[in-house]
Chains A and B, each alone.
Chain A
């Protein structure tokens, strides 16, 4: 196996005063090789788009195109589906031990290339490299290992219906699945979808998000000789063209999607037309609730709680579970916010390849404009800007990057900035009187994906955790995404779960063999 691993050339840094800055992809000395053009990854090889068209991939760091990827059409989706269907039977019949071996090898090759992939993803998405190094990549790697382990424990069940009749239940792969990845965690969200699909014996056709197709292609470059041809296929291009072609295809057995609500409905509509299952994760407006007792002592826990509020700025707020509504008990509001605002003022923005940078640029101009428009509507509705509120001007060659200041708006829960996902580093903060009001505000939302509860009182934390209508309630922590903790939404945040071995069921058919061990006729005819 070792010879299949690409050697990890430890990061060449430009070092000055303990500041580490990775060299941008394509430049001399960068860890990340860059081609001018990338084709689709189909059947284990690189296949040019049928119509020969390409589109620019723009880095949000400087607003410049750094490579081109295939602008695919439905013909390319068909080629990928052909390859997946050719691979389907052999992969579906591969033993659990060998499937696990492949998943572990994917994890190993990613780990050997962790820094390279972290730099590539940071440059394409804009997220700070300290996050990709410490979170995105280690979590994605662990995800493949988790499902390698989980697949080994996949067991059917049998039931003795009566003395001579037995019901055997087997897991069988669905076949070929379609998976549509969001732009906010290009590699981790790909891992969340690909790992369980493969573990359950399926082949996949993956459509990366339009703003971030290249990171996944860099991942695909590592798969030669590790994953059988056709088991993982990646097709890049516009959602309206190839996302639709994939989601409507009668040749997929399931569709997985992460994105916004309208496309979520459309995906389910397409799935209904083909009578196939779908999983949709559609975002949230997660409350992060701070009870007065967090300030009972000036200690490490209080420090953790302050950081917990500021995690709204993690990945520049481009997280489905961004804790974008802070609910603070009114008796501590002034003192607690004073500490938080002082810490927010320390956040550094700049080159995401600098390991000291805390917030990089938003992924696209569209996202940046959307954030600006939300701050505007927030002000019109009477919200008070406590900090930030403007695009951030970053010098040093990043003048054209899509930066926005970490922002806090104070208002009330009926305002649009409290009800809609802004997908930027914008926190909406309000106060509550008591436990009942905290729960009422927390649940006054169309969404129910994540929530945070901060208190030193375990009983209160438990009551709140069970009372909040959301799929994940972080208790005295936030933004942890370990494999093995189920993730998914209540209400309009979506249908289905990810990140847990129950996914093996979601990516499997149930085969029942109902067997009679009796020789006696039934006696009806």
Chain B
């Protein structure tokens, strides 16, 4: 896989970092993969580390709270001019993602930035 990026492509709020720490303490390391498409596409999906098979072409956007955060290489081309911030929102995840604590889910906020290149 490609990356990581410099400066970091993903930041995390304190709420997201707390949720990550909680998940790790309950069941071990976790990972994130930025989704796209239908339904709850565009949300970051959180899995136990290794649950999701990362492909060689997937891009490592950064590491948050010790957890790697990946994106599909094709989607990266569209997202690379935006900086992501991982946060926590109310409500259970709608798809296969692990929750960010009871009744919460992970979200990303995007803001436009300079285009970065993977290292």
User: Residues on A close to B: CB < 8 A?
Assistant: 55, 182-184, 209-211, 238-240, 243-244, 258-266, 269, 281-284, 320, 364-367, 369-370, 373-374, 377, 380-381, 416, 419-423, 446-447, 492-493
Contact residues on B (Cβ < 8 Å of other chain), bracket: 35 or more
Query: Which residues of the partner chain A approach B35 to less than 8 Å between Cβ atoms?
Result: 260-263
Q: Does B37 contact A364, Cβ atoms closer than 8 Å?
A: no
Query: Which residues of the partner chain B approach A422 to less than 8 Å between Cβ atoms?
Result: 42
Apart from A238-B99, A261-B41, 6 more pairs, CB < 8 Å: A209-B94, A260-B45, A260-B95, A263-B96, A282-B38, A373-B107
Query: Which residue of chain B has the shortest Cβ distance to A212 in the bound complex?
Result: B94
Q: Does A446 contact B96, Cβ atoms closer than 8 Å?
A: no
Q: Does A258 contact B111, Cβ atoms closer than 8 Å?
A: no
Query: Which residues of the partner chain A approach B110 to less than 8 Å between Cβ atoms?
Result: 373, 377, 416
Question: Which of B33, B38, B45, B81 neighbours the largest number of chain A CB atoms within 10 Å of its CB?
Answer: B38
Q: Determine the main DSSP class of A at the interface with B.
A: mixed
B66 contacts partner chain A, Cβ-Cβ < 8 Å? no
> Which of A282, A366, A381, A492 has a CB less than 8 Å from the CB of B43?
A366
Query: Which residues of the partner chain A approach B72 to less than 8 Å between Cβ atoms?
Result: 261
Give me 25 A-to-B residue pairs in the complex whose CB atoms sit less than 8 angstroms apart, sorted by A's number. Answer: A183-B94, A184-B39, A210-B93, A210-B94, A240-B96, A240-B99, A244-B96, A259-B40, A260-B38, A261-B35, A262-B35, A265-B53, A266-B47, A320-B38, A365-B89, A370-B40, A370-B42, A377-B82, A380-B111, A381-B81, A416-B82, A420-B36, A420-B41, A420-B42, A446-B74
A-B contact count (CB 8 A): 148
Query: Known interface pairs A239-B96, A240-B98. Does A420 touch B39 (Cβ–Cβ under 8 Å)?
Result: no
B90 contacts partner chain A, Cβ-Cβ < 8 Å? yes
B47-78 residues at the A interface, CB under 8 angstroms: 47, 51-53, 72, 74-75, 78
Q: Does A447 contact B37, Cβ atoms closer than 8 Å?
A: yes
B7 contacts partner chain A, Cβ-Cβ < 8 Å? no
**Bound: A182/B95 CA distance, A:** 9
Contact with A along B80-100 (1 / 0, CB 8 A): 011000000111111111110
